[in-house]
Amino acid sequence: MQRWIWLVWLAGGVLLAGSTSGWRVTPWSLLIVAVAGALAWWTSPRSRGRSKRLADVMELPEDQRRVIVYWRPGCIYCERLRSSLGADAERAQWINIWQDPDAAAYVRSVNDGNEVVPTVVIDSQPHTNPEPSEVQAALAR
């Protein structure tokens, strides 16, 4: 269900805008649809474009995959981590678990069957929702 939450945001916004404005286009209805559209995009599996796949990342040289971040759209903890890393975020390998079933399976395997994100693998050791400073330190090495 979580993968389709963006449709709920979009449909809910359209229904709310229509029902509050008598199905006429008003500034308020446009605002409601715009906010719902932004939330739908933020939680959409394609919100940051096509993500790397686990198989492709594992083919990279070891020094290029020292830090692998498993994430999903709409996750505030993932966004917190990405923004806390700043420009260093580009040095990590980011894998969207909603676009890669193998990545989702890996995350479940290290989190007692749950898709907890962000799950960050640092030097082959998984860390569930680590502090950004820990990831920053690993990227700095």
Pairwise CA distance, residues 74 & 43, whole Å: 4
Residue 75 lies in a domain: yes
pLDDT at 49 (0 to 100)? 59
102 and 68 housed in the same domain: yes
Residue 71 lies in a domain: yes
97 and 122 housed in the same domain: yes
125 and 91 housed in the same domain: yes
- CB atoms closer than 10 angstroms to residue 110: 16
Residue 90 lies in a domain: yes
pLDDT digits (tens, 9 = 90+) for 64-113: 889 999 999 889 999 999 999 999 999 999 999 999 999 999 999 999 99
pLDDT digits (tens, 9 = 90+) for 111-128: 999 999 999 999 999 999
pLDDT at 2 (0 to 100)? 63
pLDDT at 116 (0 to 100)? 96
Structure-block tokens of residue 71: 């994430």
Nearest to 82 by CA among 125, 116, 56, 48: 48
pLDDT at 141 (0 to 100)? 82
Q: Is the pLDDT of residue 139 over 70?
A: yes
83 and 15 housed in the same domain: no
Residue 103 lies in a domain: yes
69 and 108 housed in the same domain: yes
32 and 63 housed in the same domain: no
Report how many domains make up the chain: 2
Residue 132 lies in a domain: yes
Q: Is the pLDDT of residue 1 over 60?
A: no
pLDDT digits (tens, 9 = 90+) for 15-60: 998 898 889 999 999 999 999 888 877 777 666 656 788 899 999 8
* Domain region containing 81: 54-140
pLDDT at 5 (0 to 100)? 73
Q: How far is CA 74 from CA 45, 71, 107, in A?
A: 9, 9, 17
**How would you write the chain as a 3-class SS string?**
CHHHHHHHHHHHHHHHHHHHHCCCCCHHHHHHHHHHHHHHHHHCCCCCCCCCCHHHHHCCCHHHCCEEEEECCCCHHHHHHHHHHHHHHHHCEEEECCCCHHHHHHHHHHCCCCCCCCEEEECCEEEECCCHHHHHHHHHC
